A and B are shown apart, each in its own frame.
Chain A
Amino acid sequence: MNPNPAPKVPVPADEAFIHAALHEKARLHPSKYDETLVRNILLETVERPVRAELTHSGSREDRKLWIIGTAAAAAVAVLFAGIFAALPFRDDRLEEEVLFIVQHGNEITEEETANQTTPAPSKAGQPYRGTLSLTANAPGPRASFSIPDSDLELTTIFGQSISEFSPRAVRRESFHIVADEISIEADEKVYTGNVILEYGALQISSEYVRVSRSDHGEMASLSGTVIAHYVTVHQQSPYRKIVAERLDFHPLTASLVLSGIRLFQSESEPNFPVEGDQRIILKNDELAVERAPADTGNLIKYANPLPKENKRK
């Protein structure tokens, strides 16, 4: 349903109310309520996560005391969070921090550096006479994820070929997640009920979020380490609001991919052409749109269940 259908001609004021009511009724049909709007309002009002507001103290001594007090309070809070996280059921909202560490290559220790021997220089100009192999010796980039149950840290380690270029690059991608319920299913953590994800300047609300716990170390596990369904993404500055059917987070590229776009509002890109079959990719403050790949991978062909004899008849 087009949310802004015709007619475009402004109507007289005495008809404006009926005109708007017809538009809204058509838009919400068959529901009588705008559930998305109500959910968004509640998320920004009565269900808004409580954030500690930092206050500036006057003197240096006061500030010192304040920092010590805050640190002590934080330590107590972390202790209690750890205790409560270990409990299977709780009545109030559950909070977790999910940290993805994307690591290019292994860090070289001082001992390894000391043991490294430099090969002796060889005479130049000797032609190579062996057979040429077209297969790369170095393994391709590999990645592995693991989520220790204690602190939910996911580590991605690249293979040798990448480490040649960037031996010590480490990037951290942190998600703060608040949800009504958290459960563990096979290789995934599942967050359900008014889930709020905070990732940088983005606040993402959803009803169902899965965090992959795959530790197979295969490239296949790189996609969809965080998958959220029916999401609303809010960004304050520049203002953006995106409602989409699905969100995928890719830790390697640190990009959020939104597909099944239902609504796109943007202060900085007011006329950005986004259609339902396109995907929005958010990376830092940048936004890109691409056409979703044709979904042929899920096509399942079934064999004819009838026996061959019956088929001949």
Chain B
Amino acid sequence: MHLVRISDQPDNLPKASEALDPKRDGDFAELVRLHHSELLVYARALSHDYSTACDIVQESFVIAYEKVHTFDVTRDFATWMRGIVRNKWREWLRKNNRYELTDGEIASIDADVAAWQAKRTEGSSTLFDALERCLSRLPENLKEAVYACYFEGRTGEEAAEKLSIGPAALRKRLQRARQLLKQCLDQKLESPSPPSDPIIES
């Protein structure tokens, strides 16, 4: 048995997800590699917690593997997996008495992840690649806020102090950055090669 290191795989390798049969072990392993990132983002968007998201995704793939005989090959594997992740998250909610999301909110998150899973299935660039390109196009003040909070792991107060702005202004910048990044990603979904000029704040 030989485990292929994921980082060794070329990113642009075309992966026809539809041609993969999860009932075959080799194909199942390929599907794990193909879908785990987006499912991790999905679970994290639902649970707001990194370790919970990891557990949910891991348990979901284990359940999928155990129940793979029930999977209809004519169905979409990504959709099936999102359903399992959602059920595991609901189970976690019940156990931990956490906040609930409305159906509309879940649908909104679900749609965002579904779009990227579909794109990934076609063999296009990953969500993280697209996100990196969109980040590079953000206005400098918003980019600084994103890097300070998300990439440098600073608290809101620390980031605000570093950028010499108030916490409220920082929150506003982060909100604006997320909105612009979403717009940029949506454009990338529609067009394979969007313009590379900076995003203009409206």
Contact = CB atoms under 8 A, between A and B. Distances in A.
A21 B112 CA distance: 11
A240 interface: no
Interface stretch (B32-40, B85-93, B187-195): B32-40
A10 B151 CA distance: 18
B65 A45 contact: yes
Contacts of B152: 5
B28 A17 contact: no
**B interface, by DSSP: helix, strand, loop or mixed?**
helix
Contact of B5 (A8, A17, A35, A44): A35
Contacts of B131: 21-22, 25
Chain B: interface size category: 35 or more
Contacts of A9: 156, 171
Contacts of B11: 32
Contacts, number: 165
Contacts of A29: 151
B44 interface: yes
B163 interface: no
A2 interface: yes
A26 B41 CA distance: 12
B36 A39 contact: no
A10 B174 contact: no
Contact of B109 (A17, A27, A34, A46): A17
Contact of A265 (B1, B55, B108, B175): B55
A263 interface: yes
B57 interface: yes
Interface in B93-108: 99, 101-102, 104-106, 108
Contacts of A28: 37, 128
B36 A33 contact: yes
Nearest to A180: B1
The 6 closest A-B pairs by CB, nearest first: A13-B105, A2-B153, A5-B153, A17-B112, A20-B45, A45-B65
Interface of B: 1-3, 5-7, 11, 25-26, 28-29, 32-33, 36-37, 40-42, 44-46, 48-51, 53-55, 57-58, 61-62, 65, 99, 101-102, 104-106, 108-109, 112-113, 126-129, 131-132, 146, 149-156, 158-159, 171, 174-175, 178-179, 181-182, 185
Given A10-B99, A13-B101, A44-B65, 17 more contacts: A2-B153, A9-B171, A13-B108, A17-B182, A18-B185, A20-B42, A23-B150, A26-B151, A33-B6, A33-B7, A37-B57, A38-B33, A40-B58, A42-B3, A46-B29, A46-B65, A193-B2
Interface of A: 1-11, 13-29, 31-35, 37-42, 44-47, 92-93, 180, 193-194, 263, 265
